[in-house]
Amino acid sequence: MLLTIDCGNTNTVFAVFAGKEKRGAWRTATNVARTADEYAVWLTQLMALEGMELGDVSEVIIATVVPEVLFNLETLCRRYFKREPMVVGKKGVDLGIEIRIDHPEQVGADRLVNAVAAHAVYEGALIVIDFGTATTFDVVEPDGGYAGGIIAPGINLSLDALYRAAAQLPRIGIRPPEMPEEGTNSPVKVIGKSTVTAMHSGIFWGYIGLIEGLVTRIKEEYGTEMTVIGTGGLAAIFADCTPAIQHVDDEITLRGLLLIHERNAA
């Protein structure tokens, strides 16, 4: 079985595949201080709940945007899985796509993995919006080439900055707005009647404006129609409130890791 490890700035996702079938997936907070031994204890217990054990894993692939955690993840693979992991971005790992930007080595591994998976599933020119610690907009050309993109602050970063910088504003979480009943012509309410509702409206509809504005500008610059895919935990919330996002794909990064492993193992 294949173990995929997707390490982001906020969370790290471990998933086990038997062929193309996902047997289990688990999420933990990304922590540069977490040791290989701690990962092993945690994974042993979670895999056992799904009827698996560490020895069932025969291959491992890692994508990380946090270089400081790579040593412990590689140690985990060598010590407990007895395998040398495949690491996206290392020499010899073929992504199967061309990276058409000025400094290819600077692109986050997750963004390239998303591009690989998006091209495999969707046709034509694509925009992949990943709602993570940062909100990224990545352009994938019709032949699969990675053409660059945009990096904006993630919504939770924006909420945290607002709370920390303004003494009288409370800490809030993101939530979808109250929408009019289906079949009515009532407009969506954006004017807050309290501090909290004003903050919710500003964050949510401000991000809708960010999404729609950047998608429009990317399409104008690229010069053709493009399909937009949203991924990440908040993608579905925003996709329900804007026509700018056509598809929500929460497992695009795991699928990309699976495809890259298949390509290189072959």
**Per annotation, catalytic residue among 37, 110, 138, 143:** 110
Q: DSSP 3-state assignment of 148? A: strand
How many whole angstroms separate alpha carbon 156 and alpha carbon 19? 35
pLDDT number for residue 17: 95
Encode pLDDT of 56-80 as tens digits: 999 999 999 999 999 999 999 999 9
Token look-up 């290819």 returns 104
Token look-up 């999404």 returns 211
Encode pLDDT of 114-132 as tens digits: 999 999 999 999 999 999 8
29 band by pLDDT with thresholds 50, 70 and 90:
very high
Active site residue 102: no
Token look-up 């079938």 returns 21
Is pTM beyond 0.85? Reply is yes
pLDDT number for residue 180: 58
Beta pairing class for 146-153 and 134-140 = antiparallel
DSSP state of 88: T
pLDDT number for residue 169: 79
- The predicted model gives 89-115 an average pLDDT of 91
The mean-pLDDT minimum among 25-39, 173-187, 231-245 falls in 173-187
- The predicted model gives 35-55 an average pLDDT of 94
Q: Are the C-beta atoms of 135 and 152 separated by less than 8 Å?
A: yes
233 has a pLDDT exceeding 90: no
222 has a pLDDT exceeding 90: yes
Binding-site sequence positions: 6-13, 108-111, 130, 133, 195
How many whole angstroms separate alpha carbon 57 and alpha carbon 261? 14
Encode pLDDT of 172-214 as tens digits: 777 776 765 666 666 777 888 888 888 888 888 999 999 999 9
pLDDT number for residue 152: 92
249 band by pLDDT with thresholds 50, 70 and 90:
very high
Q: Report percent pLDDT > 70 for the chain.
A: 96
Binding-site sequence positions for substrate: 108-111, 195
Sign for the CA dihedral angle at 264, 50, 71, 103 comes to positive
Binding-site sequence positions for K(+): 130
Cβ contacts of residue 45 below 8 Å, gap of 6+? none
Q: Are the C-beta atoms of 29 and 11 separated by less than 8 Å?
A: yes
How many whole angstroms separate alpha carbon 227 and alpha carbon 239? 13
Distance separating the N- and C-terminal Cα atoms of the chain: 15
How many whole angstroms separate alpha carbon 150 and alpha carbon 136? 6
Nearest to 67 by CA among 105, 115, 41, 94: 105
How many whole angstroms separate alpha carbon 11 and alpha carbon 34? 13
pLDDT number for residue 174: 77
Q: DSSP 3-state assignment of 68? A: helix
